[in-house]
Amino acid sequence: MLTKRIIPCLDVKDGRTVKGVRFEGLRDAGDPVALASRYAREGADELVFLDITATNQKRATLVALVRDVARELDIPFTVGGGIGTISDVEALLMNGADKVSINSAALARPELIDELAARFGSQCIVVAADARFNDADGWQVYTRAGTNNTGRDAVQWCREAADRGAGEILLTSMSNDGTKDGFALDITGAVSRAVTIPVIASGGAGSKQDFTNVFQQAQADAGLAASIFHFGEIGIRELKEHLRRDGIPMRL
């Protein structure tokens, strides 16, 4: 039986993980390869690396990182963050990334999704959508790290991305991100029902029950989180054991 997936997300800058990873027994918490290997050993189903480097060397450092991670890691990983061209994607995939996620570039020019899917196959093209709720307009999609409201409806955009050939949607609720109050069940469920491709829920995870809820009530295919894993608040193995006890298919 196909399992639901648990995906830790690592923010990287200039080839190092950032956002205060506090892990006992890890000699260098800033080393993405060491952290990735540790998560893989603990039972992570996949990893996502989000690159927040903003320098001219971005592409070279990211490609080098992907190579280092791919050399060590025996589970799939996705790379995202400022990826905008076919040649960016090609360099990352050829060096061992399994998937790339695109966000702002896809909203700026949606045909990019069609082009990437045709060139590399849908299976490696993840469209990341950052959604925020407001009373007047409902859930809308934001770009540029959440600073720019595109005015586009989140469900409608995810459906378009899927129609254009995305293989997976990474849906982050900016309204929930950092709150630890749980995933946004309404928008996650709405997107999951609107598309026939897998949906990764992100933003708001604070407890094991939050994952149960997003799988059982919002039909998410995967749950992504960062800080609760980095700070050791929830261990991946204990989370997966909990979810299996709740009747959710898990790889243990």
For 208-239, give the DSSP string: HHHHHHHHHTT--SEEEESHHHHTTSS-HHHH
- Which residue stretch of 22-30, 141-149, 190-198, 203-211 sits at the interface with another protein (rule: CB under 8 A)? 190-198
**Total of residues contacting another protein (CB under 8 A):** 37
Query: 153 catalytic, yes or no?
Result: no
DSSP state of 124: G
- To another protein, the closest distance from the beta carbon of 17 in angstroms equals 20
180, 228 contact by CB (below 8 A): yes
Task: Quote the Cα angle for 123-129-131, to 5°.
Answer: 155
Decide if residue 96 touches another protein (CB under 8 A).
Answer: yes
Extract the tokens encoding 213.
Answer: 């809820």
Reply yes or no on whether 135 is catalytic.
no
Q: Give the shortest CB-196-to-another protein separation in angstroms.
A: 4
Compare residues 147 and 196 and give the one whose CB is closer to another protein: 196
Q: Which of 9, 12, 40, 48 binds another protein (CB under 8 A)?
A: 40
> 158 Cβ partners below 8 Å, 6+ apart?
127, 129, 169, 171, 191, 194, 195, 199
Point out the residues that are catalytic: 11, 130
Which residues here bind another protein, judged by CB under 8 A? 1-5, 40, 45, 67, 70-72, 74-76, 93-98, 120-124, 167-168, 192-193, 196-199, 219, 221-222, 251
